[in-house]
Chains A and B, each alone.
Chain A
């Protein structure tokens, strides 16, 4: 008896460990999948926004020489010599990559580096400051060297500087972009505004709908639910392009209003290629994300509570306001958070129906990812958007409380 106690405990422990291992084995594929497809890309993104190794990798001697440069005057002959040495010895691939990166710090920088390298290779003259300036007079400008110094920083804040509508001036001080180049802050505020407006519209439209669904008999509400989910199952592109057809100047909506005599041919409503189009299409697409959590929360509210309020003499509206509405707050919270966060990152719909005033922050991220190839800046913009989402999430949690948030 005295020996079987610990043995039993050990056996039990072993069996439990086995079960734990088994259950871990079952979730391991999911864990690996999430790490590979979610955590890793986000980590890469974070690193890319501040990591800028291409130029320094191709021009190591120049990087070393510029470290001791005060930045007040043109660098000395040693720096020119180091640059010449780098340009003559750097592998072609590395040099072209570096030149392309440099081009986003200094317009024309790509050609400046590549053509200078070519000229140096072609001639036998000893490379000197005079020779550099002879190849391209820009090498005699301090601004060029300042930007080269910026480009050479392996760890850099320049992408965030740009993302905040600032830039480095010739003294390496951070100054505001000229007005005609300010973009990202405006766009960020507009994105917040649109996401907020879409959330509000979804709530206004979705709350009564969810209420009807929750109050209806199960059979009817199941059928009605299909109508909510049907658009949900249709491809995003199909739904967006249908809106283009409906909303255009000579589309059915404008034609109908014209036929009814509500507008005349000259004053057709501009419903698309502006913020209105973005709001309409996004609200429609995101509506199910509001209705579903609302519905599931409302279903769980016992009808007896409202009835009790009514029997105690509350008028229907007051019973709704004081009893039903507070109980449905978790649904409002979950739906709003979902819609708001999804709306912040939307870009296909705004790109198709938004025109200019409907374009959002993510459109710029896509632009720098796909078109300008400035992945560092795209990452910085993404990091800002991601931080905003996380920030909003925590503020929300503070206000609503974690237990109030229910998705099912």
Chain B
């Protein structure tokens, strides 16, 4: 008995001693920042295109964390004064709200790197993708995807087909939270021209019209919450058609050989942006990383890993070159890009500012509509 105790005590002491020795001999830690993003294939693309090259050329460590969007966690950190996230990848409407709430540091936009062609950043970035609170990295898109094997003849090609249960029978997948893109899609499918959708949606009649359109398929909808779910719902046959993020469908088609196809008609652009959390102790490093990752080459590099388009014109020029292909699969990326001319013919525009102000009100009605 005594011996066992002795051995146990010895082992514990040895572990503690080893820990102390390790701490004493470990070299001065490198400065580090925590970069928070969405996980999955998207995070991988950022690590390959931004994090790894940055760590290779700078004396710094980048720690990655995943979250599922929203600003609640950032708000909690800022309000409690315990900021552990430095740079966060937001959807642009969330970044606008975070900025309104005073949760983001301001960025001097003049200090961003100019384009490869020498154009200042403020002219090179796409419209709406720069703000003192955030800098956009990618353009992604809300699209409709369907299972080709379910419609061997006469496949659907329009957004209207999504609401046409007679011609294309089967369950539909729609996003449960955040009704923004869904309501806009409903209006577009109901005949509102793509560029007028935001204006119509702002009127009470327009909102009623969107809900009325959704009423026509409500009984046949399976609701998804996470970006990976639409792919899974399609693969398991739970739905035949679903809204999704274009990059996820690209991954399923090119990466896993799934028989899915994308309907680009009525796609809706969205932006992912970097924001720096207010009160971070590593603001200088965070800012340096932000500038590094948003230069022309880095943004273009990311498009080698995922079908999201870079948010600056000079980077788009690079991905349009004939030799620009996926890093592993070797397919030409341009045809999968939401911004490519053949895909962007009928893209719904959106008013992020209006949504930042009215999301709460519309969501209250959305939640009530869903529960009825």
Contact = CB atoms under 8 A, between A and B. Distances in A.
Contacts, number: 83
A183 B102 contact: no
A370 B75 CA distance: 10
Contacts of B370: 356, 359
B357 interface: yes
Contacts of A273: 222-223
A371 B360 CA distance: 9
Interface residues of B, number: 34
A182 B368 CA distance: 6
A181 B365 contact: yes
B236 A180 contact: no
B367 interface: yes
Interface in B195-227: 211, 222-223, 225
B237 A96 contact: no
Nearest to B78: A93
Given A100-B101, A351-B225, A111 B357 contact: yes
A158 interface: no
Interface SS of chain B: helix, strand, loop or mixed?
Answer: helix
A248 B232 CA distance: 12
A142 interface: no
Interface in A346-383: 351, 355-356, 359, 364, 367, 369-374
B371 A356 contact: yes
Contacts of A104: 360
B371 A107 contact: no
A129 interface: no
Contacts of A367: 177, 367
Contacts of B223: 273, 355-356
Residue picked from A180, A355, A374, most chain B C-beta under 10 Å: A180
A203 to B, nearest CB: 28
A183 B368 contact: yes
Nearest to A363: B367
A108 B358 contact: yes
Interface in B274-331: none
17 contacts: A96-B100, A100-B97, A100-B100, A100-B101, A104-B360, A107-B357, A110-B100, A111-B353, A111-B356, A181-B368, A186-B372, A248-B238, A249-B171, A249-B237, A273-B222, A356-B371, A364-B367
Interface of A: 92-93, 96-97, 99-100, 103-104, 107-111, 114, 180-183, 186-187, 190, 248-251, 273, 351, 355-356, 359, 364, 367, 369-374
Closest 10 CB pairs of A and B: A107-B361, A96-B102, A183-B368, A250-B237, A108-B357, A370-B72, A93-B102, A100-B101, A111-B357, A107-B358
